[in-house]
Amino acid sequence: MSALLTLTPEGLYCPAGDFHIDPMRPVARALITHGHSDHARAGHGAVLATEETLAIMAIRCGEAFTRSRQTAVLGQKIALGETIVSFHPAGHVLGSAQISIEGKHEGRLTRIVVSGDYKRQHDPTCLPLEPVRCDIFITEATFGLPVFRHPDTRHEIDRLLASCKLFPERAHLVGAYSLGKAQRMAAVLREAGYDRPVFLHGAMEKLMAFYASRGVDIGETRKISAADRSGLAGEIILCPPSAINDAWAGKFPDPVAAFASGWMRIRARARQQGVELPLVVSDHADWDDLTTTILETGCSEVWVTHGEAEALVHWAQTRQLRAKPLHMLGYGEEEDSAAAEDATA
């Protein structure tokens, strides 16, 4: 009896619908959960994704990123071969979606949900995650250990603002990934009442403008020119994480190196990366949100794509759920690859 979803060298594949989800290599038809570079690659024959994800792929990879595009409207059912697919908000970045597939799995009508990346924390820049009832839930486990409990984002923003107040003579360079994190930092700063312009490294500009064009309130942003740098004492500057320690950073007045990432929970990592002000802000679910989401889907089976798979699989088994790790390589690299890509932009 055949499986509704299988693992191929390209990634997750649905034979009954003849499509891949977030494939690592070019394929005939790809369904894409969101625009991060480890999920959204160029070169597929056809791409089905939300309108925002298609637009983000065009911004990052060029208009020729695929031969044909099809827009998925959230919640709408689309027939593909012998399957019905639908997209549902994942709360990860603008346009991010979980993909539901309904069809025969081992002889039985089954619903599988591929969540891509997701989170449940406050984020004014995208729609919140909607748990989807399903039989099999496919999740990542980047922060799949009980030690990972992300603090309130607003609390981290308050720490940044407190530092600006304490060190008005120093520029605050905040490393943030250019898709999702940077816009979220700006939007939450606005919610906290911060009304100074937010300054941008050149690599941040395009996606920031895209979010603004979609109605996300990021307030006034300004691209920095080389001449401005020395005059930015006390200001907040968003830049690619790789820029906080390079020569570019040295041109600012006594810079404070900050970095907004879930990994900042690990102090040794922050120290290693020369981060003076670690801000624990993540676009991935922490332990509580992973386990809550799994339970809310009502699934009887969990597949874990990557990250701390063993811990999450073990937890699921203690809840009488069937669970297995997929050991998928190539995901979870968006942070590093996006940083590299931004640094050269």
Question: 203-232: which residues touch Zn ion (CB under 5 A)?
Answer: none
Q: Give min distance, CB of 306 to Zn ion, in A.
A: 8
Number of residues forming the site for Zn ion (CB under 5 A): 5
DSSP state at residue 327: -
Residues 294 and 321: beta-carbon distance below 8 Å: yes
Q: Give, as ranges, the residues between 63 and 82 that touch Zn ion (CB under 5 A).
A: none
22 forms part of the interface with Zn ion (CB under 5 A): no
Q: Which residue has the tokens 């102090």?
A: 267
The window from 7-15, 36-44, 64-72, 232-240 that contacts Zn ion (CB under 5 A) reads 36-44
Residue 36 vs 190, nearer CB to Zn ion: 36
Structure tokens at 270: 């922050």
Q: Which is nearer to Zn ion, 181 or 190 (CB)?
A: 181
Which CB atom, from 292 or from 337, has the smaller least distance to Zn ion? 337
* Radius of gyration in angstroms for the set of CA atoms belonging to the chain, rounded to a whole number: 20
How would you classify the pairing of strands 277-279 and 19-21? unpaired
SS3 content of the chain, % helix, strand, coil (to 5): 30, 25, 45
Do residues 28 and 51 make contact, with C-beta atoms less than 8 angstroms apart? no
335 binds Zn ion, rule: CB under 5 A: no
Asked if 36 touches Zn ion (CB under 5 A), the answer is yes
Identity of the residue, 13 or 118, whose beta carbon is nearer to Zn ion in the bound complex = 118
Measured CA distances, 304 to 97, 148, 259, 286 (Å): 17, 17, 28, 14
Contact range with Zn ion by CB under 5 A, out of 98-106, 117-125, 169-177, 251-259? 117-125
Nearer to Zn ion, 141 or 258 (CB): 141
Compute the distance between CA of residue 151 and CA of residue 156 in angstroms, rounded to an integer.
7
Three-state SS across 297-316?
HCCCEEEEEEECHHHHHHHH
Q: Smallest distance, Å, CB 182 to Zn ion?
A: 14
Helix or strand run (H / E) with residue 68: strand 66-71
* Phi-psi region at 332: left, alpha or beta (left = phi > 0; alpha = psi -120 to 50): left
Q: How far is the CB of 119 from Zn ion (least distance, A)?
A: 10
Is the CB of residue 53 less than 8 Å from the CB of residue 210? Answer: no
Which of 22, 52, 117, 342 lies at the binding interface for Zn ion (CB under 5 A)? 117
Annotate each residue in 231-250 with x if it binds Zn ion (CB under 5 A) or - if it does not, as one string: --------------------
Select from 107-115, 154-162, 207-215, 331-339 the region that touches Zn ion (CB under 5 A): 331-339
Provide the minimum distance between the beta carbon of 320 and Zn ion in the complex, in angstroms, as a whole number.
29
CB-count exposure of residue 46 (10 Å: 0-12, 13-18, 19+): middle
Q: Which is nearer to Zn ion, 58 or 84 (CB)?
A: 58
CA–CA dist 284, 289 (Å, integer)? 9
Q: Which is nearer to Zn ion, 223 or 327 (CB)?
A: 327
| Partner residues linked to 302 by β-bridges | 137, 323
Smallest gap, in angstroms, from Cβ of residue 1 to Zn ion? 31
Of 19 and 331, CB closest to Zn ion: 331
CA distance 185 to 193: 13
Report the residue number, 35 or 103, with the smaller CB distance to Zn ion: 35
Task: By CB under 5 A, name the binding residues for Zn ion.
Answer: 36, 38, 117, 331, 334
